[in-house]
Amino acid sequence: MQKFDLIEPTSLDEALGILGKEDTRVIGGGTALIVLVKNGLLRPRYLVSLRKLPELGTSKPRGTGMSFGACTHLRDIERSNKVRERLPLVSAAVEHIGNVRVRSAATVGGTICEADYQSDFAVALLALGGRVRVRGLQGERLISIDEFYVGPYTTALDTGELVTELEIDAAPQGASSAYLKCVTGPVTDRPCVAVAAVVGLDAAGACVHSRLVVGGVDGFSSRPLRVTAAEQLAIGAKITSQTIAAMSEIACRQADPASDLKASAQYKKEMTKVFCRRALEQALGGNRGG
C-alpha cells in the first residue's frame, strides 16, 4: 500500500488549509477509502481526519428532523432513540448497512461522500429530503439532497470542500414509512435493490403525501431513482392493492439498472417491482382502501 501522512487538524480552518494541497483527501471512518488506497485505486499523499473537531461529532434535533455532524458514526444513529422517533426511515436504513464493525467506524460524511450506487443511506435520504452543509476556503454553502448526488461516485462537492453537517427533514406528521433491501449475497452486503416508501393519509384515508425511492437501479449513478410518476398516482386517492401494483409497475418500467456481480439488470427490474409493492404495503400497514 502506498504510504500517506495522516493529518489531524484541530480547527476547521486548519483542515481546509491542508485540503488545498495536491493529492489530499478527507478521511472519515476509512471503511471505503482505505480499501481504494490498499488496491492502488487512489494514491493520496495526505489524509485529513476530522475527528479532532468536536463540533463535527454532534447530532441534534432540528425542526421536526435532525442534524448530524459529518463525523457522527452510523452506529450512534442506529442506537439513538431520538433518531428512531423522528426519522424512523433513517434508523431502518442504517441498521441494514454492513455489520456493527462497519457502522461503528463509518461516518455520516464518508457515507454520503462515497456516493456508491449501492447505498442504503442515500435511498432513505432522498425519500425524506434535507441539506448538506459544506465548507470550503470560499465559505459555506448548503446543497439540497436532491442536488448532492450528481453521478457515478460523484457528488456536488467542489475541490477543497468538505461536508460539515447533514440536515435531514422528518416525514410529515402522521406519515408512515418502510425501508426494504434486496440482497443476493450475505446480509451484510450492499443492496442489490433498495426501496424507501413514505405515505401520509388524511382522515378520510386519501393519500396526501407520497415518496417512492429506489436505489441501485439507475445505471452506476450514485443517485437513487425517485419515482415521481408513481408518487403522483397515489396523491388524492385511496391506496388500494391496484394502486400499489400500478405504482410498483411504474417503478419497474423506469428502473434502468446495470448488470453487475450481484444480479442481472432484468432481475433487478423484477425485484424493483416486488420490493416496491412490499415497501408500500408495509408503510401503509392496515390503512388500505381494499
Ligand X SMILES: Cc1cc2nc3c(=O)[nH]c(=O)nc-3n(C[C@H](O)[C@H](O)[C@H](O)COP(=O)(O)OP(=O)(O)OC[C@H]3O[C@@H](n4cnc5c(N)ncnc54)[C@H](O)[C@@H]3O)c2cc1C
Instruction: Please tell me the distance from the alpha carbon of residue 207 to that of residue 244, in angstroms, as a whole number.
Output: 12
Q: How would you classify the pairing of strands 256-257 and 218-219?
A: parallel
Identify residues 216-255 at the interface with ligand X (CB under 6 A).
none
Per-residue binding letters, 102-131, with ligand X (x by CB under 6 A): x--xxx-xxx-xx----xxx----------
Residues 198 and 127: beta-carbon distance below 8 Å: yes
53 binds ligand X, rule: CB under 6 A: no
69 binds ligand X, rule: CB under 6 A: no
- Min dist. Cβ of residue 57 to ligand X (A): 11
- Min dist. Cβ of residue 28 to ligand X (A): 3
Residue nearest to ligand X (CB): 110
Tell me which of 25, 131, 273, 277 binds ligand X, using CB under 6 A. 25
> Which residues are paired to 206 by β-bridges?
238
76 binds ligand X, rule: CB under 6 A: no
DSSP 72-138: -BHHHHHH-HHHHHH-HHHHHHHHTSS-HHHHHH-BHHHHHHH--SS-HHHHHHHHH-EEEEEEETT
- Min dist. Cβ of residue 210 to ligand X (A): 24
From residue 63, alpha-carbon distances to 24, 56, 268 in Å are 35, 19, 37
151 binds ligand X, rule: CB under 6 A: no
Instruction: Please tell me the distance from the alpha carbon of residue 91 to that of residue 125, in angstroms, as a whole number.
Output: 11
- Min dist. Cβ of residue 102 to ligand X (A): 5
Tell me which of 162, 182, 192, 251 binds ligand X, using CB under 6 A. 162
**What phi-psi label fits residue 247: left (phi over 0), alpha (psi between -120 and 50 degrees) or beta?**
alpha
Give Rg (Cα) of the chain: 19
258 binds ligand X, rule: CB under 6 A: no
27 binds ligand X, rule: CB under 6 A: yes
Q: Strand, coil or helix: what is 26?
A: strand
Residues 247 and 274: beta-carbon distance below 8 Å: no
26 binds ligand X, rule: CB under 6 A: yes
Tell me which of 14, 95, 189, 260 binds ligand X, using CB under 6 A. 189
70 binds ligand X, rule: CB under 6 A: yes
Question: Which among 3-11, 101-109, 221-229, 250-258 is the span making contact with ligand X, rule CB under 6 A?
Answer: 101-109
Interacting residue ranges for ligand X, rule: CB under 6 A: 25-33, 50, 70, 96-98, 102, 105-107, 109-111, 113-114, 119-121, 162-163, 188-190
